[in-house]
Copies of this chain bind each other. A is one copy, B any other.
């Protein structure tokens, strides 16, 4: 048991997975959940991963030892305002947003004295979303990054770290701005690029929908998985990690133009060197246990 009472604000993929994992591992005595959407609340009641589902965030945080903000980044400010007067002294507030500086700016100013805000981000997810998509194993073997400030209570951070470790995650501490840059590279830009490529394919009328779909196994289908992620969440990520995303996109287009030029001018050596270099990084990811070496992610045939 790590926390007596946990409040989950938002009941999507991450929050529902946390609930499943906390229950499986006996990490919380009581879990209260809430969502702005009555449909989401009804599904969460039906699936039954919380002890209690309530209508408002203010109600949910009452007596909670840990409050988890699991709403899109753009909704953090409003939720923080709403819960601030209801928080129990000594409570820990954390979040699971994909961007950290913007969340800190939205949440920290509203936190009362004696409440510990420890920003966090589990680097785990799938292309599915909503309260039915959660599962207890989501965080296993994945990293969760905490970005406590210099004056964040050490004991509160340590306890939260134990919760994540208990759910199967590895935990790292990081500076919030550095987090936002790293994630721009490993997540935000790849998502934007995948969304773009899928959008282009969708637009091309000479290549009919059915051809794009039938022949997707040649590479494109991997992009469509990423581009099937939650639109609201991703809109907010880009709007709130603007600077780092645009910087990395600038680098990306620069490199892409160099490769385009190599194609146009027939510079095969440039292409071959580039494509050889990128192989090594894949090897590193497999050796670090962050992906499978099985061909095509081991999915094999799909029928």
Contacts and interface: CB of A to CB of B under 8 A. Distances in A.
Interface string A265-285: 010100110111111111111
Interface in A166-208: 172, 181-183, 185-204, 206-207
B127 A196 contact: no
Secondary structure of the A contact surface, majority rule: helix
A235 B182 contact: no
A133 to B, nearest CB: 7
A256 interface: yes
Interface stretch (A24-32, A78-86, A287-295): A287-295
A204 B213 CA distance: 34
B253 A216 contact: no
Given A231-B272, A246-B263, A302-B291, A200 B212 contact: no
Interface of A: 74, 98, 123-128, 133, 135, 137, 140-143, 145, 172, 181-183, 185-204, 206-207, 209, 211-229, 231-232, 234-236, 238-239, 242, 245-246, 248-249, 251-253, 255-256, 259-260, 263-264, 266, 268, 271-272, 274-285, 288-292, 294-303
